[in-house]
Amino acid sequence: MRRKPITVRSIAMLTLIDIGANLTHESFARDLDEVLARAAAAGVVQQLVTGADLASSRHAARLAAAHPWVLHATAGVHPHHAAGYASAQRDEFLALAALPQMVAIGECGLDYFRDLSPRAAQRTAFVAQLQIAVETHKPAFLHQRDAHEDFAAILADFAPRLPGGVAHCFTGGPRELDRYLSLGLAIGVTGWVCDERRGAALREAVPLIPADRLMLETDAPYLLARDLAPRPSSRRNEPAFLPHIARAVAALRGERLEDLAATTTRNARRLFGLAAA
């Protein structure tokens, strides 16, 4: 049976959740209301604003408080900023985690690709944040690049006590996928999947992700899908482009777009405790 073509109208009728949008980025400072309106028109009904250090986590909390239900937030220290993490910040992150709009701890993890913070500092900050996630009963919002073995080893020590977590912006292949699934993680897929060159391993892994572990994200303003047309002149990614990613993932999995949207939305609401309208 031939499937109905996907139209602009049918995309707008989808219900999607962007689990990773860096709306505290300076590129959104002047037109955030318009960005949120375009996302809503595209069917992106809720978003998680990612915290990357103490300042951006506070900013994410303010944005989520100003846009209740639509925006939620995470609080954490990205591995790029791990050198700036100090144990004295622990109480401040615990206070942020107690806010009702805060739904996860992170973005935390390891990044050995850029090594913008010493690896020892990255591991220390990662462990500290996993401890906060366990204590606050919040899922972990996780980052890993070129650090799979150390990342998985550290996470394995905490996985039995964590109330879940998501491998944010997963770009690996089947081997990495199997390991993260064994640790109980959900898998976040971005526009990386739309790049047939860099995303080859991810495209191989996407059909293997269990339906109840799959989530979608833009990582806006980063990771603009390579095949998006027309491309924005600013090259800024934004949550309104999430349906494009959903369509690519659905095609790779041989699923109807509407079914994939419903499944990933349900998964995000379950992991992060998001209430539907």
pLDDT of residue 7: 42
- Name the token pair of 204: 């191989």
pLDDT of residue 8: 43
Is the dihedral angle over the CA atoms 32, 35, 37, 40 positive or is it negative?
negative
Q: Residues with Cβ < 8 Å from 164, sequence gap 6 or more?
A: 139, 140, 184, 185, 186, 271
**Matching residue, tokens 């833009």:** 218
Strand order in the sheet with 16-21: 16-21, 44-49, 71-75, 102-111, 140-145, 165-167, 186-189, 214-216
Please report, for the chain, the start and end positions of each structural domain, with discontinuous segments joined by +: 8-272
pLDDT of residue 10: 45
CATH architecture of 8-272: Alpha-Beta Barrel (3.20)
Is the dihedral angle over the CA atoms 41, 44, 50, 55 positive or is it negative?
positive
- Name the token pair of 53: 């250090």
List the pLDDT tens digit at each of the 277 positions of the chain: 333 333 444 455 799 999 999 999 999 999 999 999 999 999 999 999 999 999 999 999 999 999 999 999 999 999 999 999 999 999 999 999 999 999 999 999 999 999 999 999 999 999 999 999 999 999 999 999 999 999 999 999 999 999 999 999 999 999 999 999 999 999 999 999 999 999 999 999 999 999 999 999 999 999 999 999 999 999 999 999 999 999 999 999 999 999 999 999 999 999 999 998 6
pLDDT of residue 12: 53
> Residue 105 forms beta bridges with which residues?
75, 140
pLDDT of residue 277: 63
